[in-house]
Amino acid sequence: MSLFKLLGQRVALGVFSLFAVSVIVFLAVSLLPGDIAEAILGQSATPETVAALRAQLGMDQAPLVRFFHWLGQLLQGDLGVSLANQRPIAELVTTRLGNTLFLAAFAALISVPIALSLGVLAALYRNSWFDRMMNTTALSAVSFPEFFVAYLLILLFSIKLGWLPSLSNIRPDASLSELLVSSILPVITLSLVVIAQMMRMTRAALINLLASPYIEMARLKGIKPARIIFHHALPNALAPIVNVVALNLAYLVVGVVVVEVVFVYPGLGQLLVDSVAKRDIPVVQVCCLIFAVTYISLNTLADVLAIASNPRLMHPRG
């Protein structure tokens, strides 16, 4: 089977998954309590006024009609208009998405090299004091919820030491240095969880390969452990490691909602939470869809790269 055929299959599966997610997102958002018309007009509004505004916003139509109308707009590249402030959703999302991608990229530049290095070292010195310490630390980091880690960091670095700001107030004209300083605490919060997960999965992938017969043969030949790791095990562990990196990159983009809310970071996650509070359904749908596209795209890319790096998966035996 050719790589292009596999790529086409994975892309088709990703498109189908995206359609399924869009249906789930639309249904879930439609079940949110409250009414956008009442939220805009206030509790003192009369039922007639609320009904008139619902008709003006198109909220009186059947859910199936509204779904296909929304889907048709998306296919034409029209994200729609915010019900809360009547601004184009593309305008609302662009800046926020850029801030979220900056935060995710900053965290990835820190977490990916550290996690892979620690995972390789933990596999190289398996069952040593270093391996046990890394496993204990990683399990502890994964066990703590993100908001708890975020508040601990705020308490230590903002309140006790006064080194970093507790809120990530980013102005539109902020310089790169201001962006970096404002993003340090959110990045540390994200990186702690990502490093722990990626390090443990990298270690597990390498240890599974180290139990292979060809690795045992290399050991019997007297090859040094470091050479076995870097020249024999690591190249063959490329496929699972690529999957690990891609999954964690997807998490860095999709899992920023809690971190952005805690630090009041002006990203897509904060916009999603604000829109839910306002019952701004079109904005909530677009934000969820952007997160879904990111997650599915990175997973599809990881799948394709894993297959491309392992020829046996492209030419299965009958």
Tens of pLDDT, residue by residue over 76-107, are: 777 777 777 778 888 888 878 888 888 888 88
pLDDT at position 40? 66
Note whether residue 178 is domain-resident. yes
Kindly report the CATH number assigned to the domain that includes residue 252: 1.10.3720.10
Note whether residue 142 is domain-resident. yes
The SS3 call for residue 215 is helix
Note whether residue 263 is domain-resident. yes
Confidence of residue 318 (pLDDT cuts 50, 70, 90): very low
Distance CA(118)–CA(78), nearest Å, equals 45
Note whether residue 294 is domain-resident. yes
Note whether residue 306 is domain-resident. yes
Share of the chain above pLDDT 90, in %: 0
Please report the DSSP string for 70-135 in residue order: HHHHHHTT---B-TTT--BHHHHHHHHHHHHHHHHHHHHHHHHHHHHHHHHHHHHTTTSHHHHHHH
pLDDT at position 35? 64
Note whether residue 260 is domain-resident. yes
Using alpha carbons only, what angle is made at residue 208 by residues 211 and 303, rounded to the nearest 5 degrees? 140
Orientation angle between helical segments 89-124 and 129-143, nearest 10 degrees: 150
* Domains identified in the chain, total number: 1
Asked if residue 270 lies in contact with residue 96, where contact means CB atoms within 8 angstroms, the answer is: yes
pLDDT at position 41? 66
Share of the chain above pLDDT 70, in %: 85
Note whether residue 23 is domain-resident. no
Asked if residue 267 lies in contact with residue 170, where contact means CB atoms within 8 angstroms, the answer is: no
pLDDT at position 219? 74
Tell me the C-alpha to C-alpha distance, in Å, between residue 110 and each of 13, 180, 188, 192: 32, 13, 9, 10
Tens of pLDDT, residue by residue over 19-43, are: 888 788 777 777 766 666 666 666 6
Amino acid identity at 116: L
Mean of pLDDT values over 7-21: 80
Query: Is-above-0.85 flag for pTM?
Result: no
Tens of pLDDT, residue by residue over 246-276, are: 777 777 777 778 888 888 888 888 888 888 7
Note whether residue 15 is domain-resident. no
Which residue range is the domain that position 94 belongs to? 89-314
